[in-house]
Chains A and B, each alone.
Chain A
Amino acid sequence: MAMTAKERVLTVLTGGVPDRKPVLSVCQYATYGLMEKTGAFWPEAHYDGKAMAELALGGASVLHLDAVRVPFCQTVEAEIFGSTIKNGGKTHIPSIETPAFTLDDKPIIPAGFTDRGRIPAILEAITRCRKAVGEDVAVMGSIVGPFSVAANIIGIATLLKASLRKPEKLLPFFSAAEKTAEAYADAVINAGADVIVIEDMMASLDMISPKTYRTLAFPYEKQLVDHIGGRIPVIIHICGKLDMVMNDIAATGVSAISVESAVDIAKVKKQFFDAGISVPVFGSVHPIRVLLEGNKDDVIKAVRKSVEDGADAISPDCAVAPETPLENLIAMTEAVASL
């Protein structure tokens, strides 16, 4: 029996068997082509709830993804903490200009965190998306993981060096980032999201060692997942080659793990099976080599490879580059639908 897109996504996230593999983009998927089609453009779509929703909804109406998501950047929390943000204009996502704190500062959590910055616009966008797609398509609200928020508020270089030299000085920053993530997650749930995505892109083995992941990233991810407490499913996305910490990530209690193609999904699935871990793994169509630079055949091949490797849902590795051709993204969803 055919399922709706939302049923398909939620079925996989709750351990069931869907009618076919879901196809979604765990990270951002807005492209210049999608902006043309939806009439909602950056930078407005980073700041305005209506434009944000319109652009995100193109994920369903134009790309035929099984889930839509907001926002498009990873700077929302850091901005509220006081990091200065560079507006990315029409073509780029906002980025961190100057981190809010130095290592010697004490992080201060601004009162009424979820009423500040762009969070109200994001919550509005979630509610608008919910209304627009009804129960047909899954709506995902994405928040940044505690480790990565900490990186965005004290600077990644500072964080990485301190992770070896003075890890104890980082703890208040992780703690503050986790506490605010709890409040943000509550607000995302109240706004009507079906799924929370935690993007903890910096908690990657491209950045830190497995030991640092276990001591400085994992505890706060787990605390956040525990706080969400199964109210809605959680997908975590971490970049890079994660094979050495996949079992740890699973132990955060998330409903699914989204990985890049650097991760050997077939091997991980076997490793999970042997360890009695049933957490689904989502991935992994390469956003540059395949989606941006490849052609339709490359996309079909990459989708097939992910399916053969046992990915439980098909997703680009990471953020889709904004100049990615629409036809490649559509080829991805068509390839999955025709399986």
Chain B
Amino acid sequence: MADTILAKLKQSILDFDEDAALEAAEESIEAGIDPVAAVGALAEALNELGIAFEKMEVFLPEIMLASDAFKNALSVLEPEIKKKNAEGKKAIPIVIGTVQGDIHQVGKDMVATFLATAGFEVYDLGVDVAPSRFLEEAKRLDAKIIAAAALMSTTRPVQKDLIDFLEAKGVRDKYIVLVGGGVVTQDWAEQIRADGYGQDAIAAVELAKKLLHVA
């Protein structure tokens, strides 16, 4: 029974079927399946799509629809995970956004989703986020990590603006700043003295965990 439902969850993502994803997620909770295992089945499907994407067998629209289906299922599963975690330690807050002048959303959404699944409390500030807003929200939410995406050669300098801004405000040491996006490289991250660079959503999660010394 549990296996069938997990397989159904996975398939709903591979079919990028939002309705089926929601249905299977609800079914999994009714059947008493561990919500973490359910998210695992979803993540497995996303990973498979990610590999097919790398090979140019599936393309971005499919990934976006799969990601919508994933979010749909997550909307049911996440509260369950939170309930379970409630006795445990508090989730670590992260603010994430695409930098000012840049309205690319997809990659940043993907990273936000993966971070949330990994158990972080993710505050997605959206796109076109000014350095001052990153700081404001990070302060308000007591975030440990600020993650900033830039997807254009013309907006990448804003990642540096953000770090310079934090330095100017004397709060650079309070936050771990992660940078990412299609035009971002490890060299760039080092050059602007970011704390880390993740090539993709999975790498970003690993990096966040490593830098915060959690699991």
A contact set with B: CB distance below 8 Å: 86, 88, 91-93, 95-97, 156-157, 160-161, 163-165, 205-209, 212, 241, 244, 287-289, 292-293, 318-323
Contact = CB atoms under 8 A, between A and B. Distances in A.
Contacts of B187: 293
B61 A208 contact: yes
Nearest to B155: A92
Contact of A160 (B64, B102, B191): B64
User: Helix, strand, loop or mixed for chain B's interface?
Assistant: loop
Interface residues of B, number: 29
Given A86-B128, A322-B157, A95 B56 contact: no
A244 B60 contact: no
Contacts of A287: 153
Nearest to A32: B157
Given A157-B64, A288-B188, 7 more contacts: A97-B128, A160-B60, A161-B65, A206-B60, A212-B61, A288-B156, A288-B185
Contacts of A322: 154, 157
A241 B153 contact: no
A242 B40 CA distance: 34
Most buried by A among B61, B64, B102, B153: B153
A289 B185 contact: yes
A288 B153 contact: yes
Interface of B: 16, 56, 58-62, 64-65, 68, 100-103, 105-106, 128, 152-158, 183, 185, 187-188, 191
B61 A293 contact: no
B59 A209 contact: yes
B9 to A, nearest CB: 21
A161 B185 contact: no
B183 A161 contact: no
A288 B155 CA distance: 12
Nearest to B63: A160
Contacts of B101: 86, 88, 92-93, 95
Contacts of B16: 164
User: Which A-B residue pairs are the 7 nearest by beta carbons?
Assistant: A321-B153, A209-B59, A92-B101, A160-B61, A164-B61, A93-B154, A207-B60
A157 B106 contact: yes
A95 B128 contact: yes
B65 A164 contact: yes
Contacts of B158: 92
